[in-house]
Amino acid sequence: MGSIDQPRCSTLDRGVRIVTESVPTAESVCLGFYYPTGSRYESEANNGISHFIEHLVFRGTRQRSTDDVNRQIDRLGGVSNAYTGKETLCLHTRVLAEDLEEVVDLFGDLSADALPPGIDDEVEREREVILSEISSVEDSPEDRVGDLCDRIFFRDHPLALPVAGSIAAVSSLTLDQIRAYYRAQLVANRLVVAAVGKVDHGQIVEWIERAVAPVPTGEPLPLQLKPVYGASTEVLERDLEQVHLCLCSPGVSRSDPRYTAAELLSVIVGEGYSSRLFREVRDRRGLAYSIYTATHGYLDAGSFNIYAGVAPQKLDQAIEVIQEVMQGVRDGDLTAEELGSAQHHLRVGTRLSQESTEARQGYLAEQLLLNDERLDRAHQLKDIDLVTLGDLRDLAAELLAGPMTLAAMGPVMASHLPADGLEFAA
């Protein structure tokens, strides 16, 4: 990316936090407006309302019609979009630096004045789009079994809720409910703005202050209860070619100093062709076409997941091998060679992502959302190098101390699987 300046931060009087990183040789800027809301802050009754708002903010404001918004985005010629997660709703774009002021003004308008009167027909059209999106998850067993695993692992906690929402909740949401939630959640004192590329910090602070002036200050983010994890088994019997498995154990939060160790553990166990699960389950025994791990970190919680797609006749053997591999990991048979290889893998991925203005912008925003002031590039690599084999073994023993939650979807009956998750021998 050429020469890079150190990140700069500012906080406006109403609490908006702004972080920028200037790349003088760039021609474009990646910009994101991040609001800490999402399915975690919802209930069964309004599940999916944040995702609904993500769709609706682009359907016009009091100043701009839907066509106006679409034409402006198309004319800018870059990429403008939005996404919702369990803990974040983000408006993001990549545009030429000369168009940055215009898109800041647009995002300010979408944050302050969307869902205008007369939008009823737009709401119903987007409702149908979202209901189709939710239904399509049933056609993707890998996604469906992941949602099921979250639901039984996080139990009654909102982290169990799917981001897109439930058909029942999305079908029943009224425009008044959506407007009230939009106005309560997209507020200035929770907003984080991140920009990386050809950007002048003082100039963008001025533009943002003007653009978000109509956005209500809002209330501070309420304290969230930490989840209580539970290990159990649940099965969705479906007429499919494969049995889709998702296993889950406690992970670590994004703010936990051990998060990097959790990432390294995932690399060793199930990311890549030389990982333990890929080598044992697929390469040596041919028991699954797809098997991998993932670590998910939230503000104060986390999960460590394993996914596998297995032919029904190979299910018992695949579960047995997964059990053996994970038991060895829990018991500390990790090696210095594996750690060194995983560190190199993660270090390369980190350095490559640092060349992407989009990835760098997302990272800076996440650091501010976590209230972590370490914004320089070097500390990411330092964190990787500081993890020791002892750290890795201690973490594996802790995360795998109990049984793993087990979700399955496909031609299998619940009675065929262990009732209370996948346990490991003492």
Residues with catalytic roles: 54
DSSP of 64-108: --HHHHHHHHHHH-SEEEEEE-SS-EEEEEEEEGGGHHHHHHHHH
114: its two tokens? 């969307």
Cβ distance 306 to 246 under 8 Å? Answer: yes
Residue 241: how many other CB atoms lie within 10 Å: 10
Q: How far apart are CA 20 and CA 93, in angstroms?
A: 14
Q: Which SS3 state, helix, strand or coil, does residue 387 take? A: coil
Report how far residue 420's alpha carbon sits from residue 426's, in angstroms, rounded to the nearest whole number.
16
Q: How far apart are CA 143 and CA 358, in angstroms?
A: 25
- Is 62 in contact with 179 (CB distance < 8 Å)? no
How many Å apart are CA 129 and CA 348, to the nearest integer? 39
Residues 47 and 122: their CA atoms lie apart, in Å, by: 20
Structure tokens at 283: 């390469």
Token digits for 72?
Answer: 């402006």
Count the Cβ atoms, other than its own, within 10 Å of residue 168. Answer: 11
CB contact at 8 A, 186 and 16: no
Measure the CA angle with vertex 196, ends 195 and 197; round to 5°.
125
- In the numeric block, which tokens belong to residue 21? 């990183």
C-alpha 390/C-alpha 334 separation (Å) is 9
- The amino acid that residue 287 corresponds to is L
The order of strands in the sheet holding 405-410 is: 233-237, 405-410, 243-250, 302-310, 288-297
Residue pair 7/376 in contact (Cβ under 8 Å)? The answer is: yes
Amino acid occupying residue 266 = S
How many H helices and E strands in the chain? 15, 11
Q: Distance between CA 111 and CA 366 in Å, rounded?
A: 19
